[in-house]
């Protein structure tokens, strides 16, 4: 079994991971629906949920597993189409999966997790960790909070219907190469402590979380490679170069200070990088 793993950035927190003949997707969202979210004062929570099937078909092929970090539109809106197209197993919380059911995702492909699970798939393992979504403002508010337990809810129609639903992080391991996906500007420090990934995927600093970058790097043993994620203008075209709206440059400076031996791997839209071997 090889330890060589290739990752490709599909913008936002969407990643394609390939190794040992398998493909894992994290938050596969490529529709890039315009909601005004990246323009101050223009965000429209009533924006209809849309899926750009042509973009999905162009950028996403086969998949064996789909890992959901949380249920906001820029993470799961494309998942029902991707799941039906690929037949992949989808991991997520009860809320994530109920929202996906409501959007027509095949129920037999859905695997409910909550943190603590370690699953063996063909050629790789997936370990699940509880996490937390970022908050903002004086009162530390969460965008579109809430859960959807119990019966399947009505079909979500607009982006505010896709509530956060709990957040997760994942450790994906191919042989000796492990990749920790924490696509949120927060984490559960005591749960993550002791995890030693080869590659850490993380967001830039958030003023709500003191010393976030330093604490994350210390908890994960200052991994050999650090990759920024979810830093682009996720409503701009995927085929154009990524625009740093969410602190990739700032994160790079903090990583260099806190973990100078870690290699900083900054990928542009649709760019790939291979780790291990």
Q: What is the CATH number of domain 5-275?
A: 3.60.15.10
Q: What is the pLDDT of residue 238?
A: 96
Pair of tokens at residue 38: 């990246």
* Sequence-ordered alpha helix ranges (H) in 128-182: none
Supply the angle between the helices 212-219 and 248-258 in degrees, to the nearest 10: 50
What tens digit of pLDDT does each residue of 237-265 get? 999 999 999 899 999 999 999 999 999 99
**Segments making up each domain of the chain, as ranges:** 5-275
DSSP state, 109? G
pLDDT in tens, 187-245: 999 999 999 999 999 999 888 899 999 999 999 999 999 999 999 999 999 999 999 99
Predicted TM-score (pTM) above 0.85: yes
Six token digits for residue 246: 């969410």
The pLDDT of residue 277 is 74
pLDDT band (50, 70, 90) for residue 183: confident
DSSP-derived pairing of the beta strands 263-264 and 225-228: parallel
SS3 128: strand
């Amino acid at each position: 079994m090889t330890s060589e793993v290739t990752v490709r950035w599909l913008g936002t927190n969407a990643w394609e991971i390939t190794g040992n003949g398998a493909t894992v997707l994290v938050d596969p969202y490529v529709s890039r629906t315009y909601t005004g979210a990246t323009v101050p004062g223009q965000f429209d929570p009533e924006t209809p949920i849309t899926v750009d099937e042509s973009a999905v078909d162009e950028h996403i092929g086969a998949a064996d597993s789909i890992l959901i970090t949380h249920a906001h539109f820029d993470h799961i809106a494309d998942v029902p189409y991707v799941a039906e197209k690929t037949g992949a197993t989808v991991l997520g919380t009860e809320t994530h999966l109920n929202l996906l059911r409501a959007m027509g995702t095949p129920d037999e492909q859905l695997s409910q997790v909550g943190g603590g699970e370690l699953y063996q798939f063909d050629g790789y393992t997936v370990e699940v960790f509880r996490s937390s979504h970022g908050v903002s403002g004086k009162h530390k508010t969460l965008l579109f909070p809430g859960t959807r337990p119990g019966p399947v809810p009505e079909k979500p129609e607009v982006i505010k219907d896709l509530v956060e639903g709990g957040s997760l992080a994942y450790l994906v391991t191919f042989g000796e190469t492990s990749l920790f996906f924490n696509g949120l500007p927060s984490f559960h420090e005591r749960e993550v402590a002791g995890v030693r990934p080869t590659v850490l995927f993380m967001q830039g600093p958030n003023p709500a979380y003191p010393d976030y970058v330093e604490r994350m790097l210390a908890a994960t043993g200052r991994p050999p490679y650090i990759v920024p994620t979810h830093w682009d203008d996720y409503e701009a075209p995927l085929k154009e170069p990524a625009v740093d709206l969410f602190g990739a440059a700032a994160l790079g400076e903090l990583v260099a200070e806190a973990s100078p031996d870690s290699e900083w791997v900054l990928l542009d839209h649709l760019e790939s990088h291979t780790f291990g071997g």
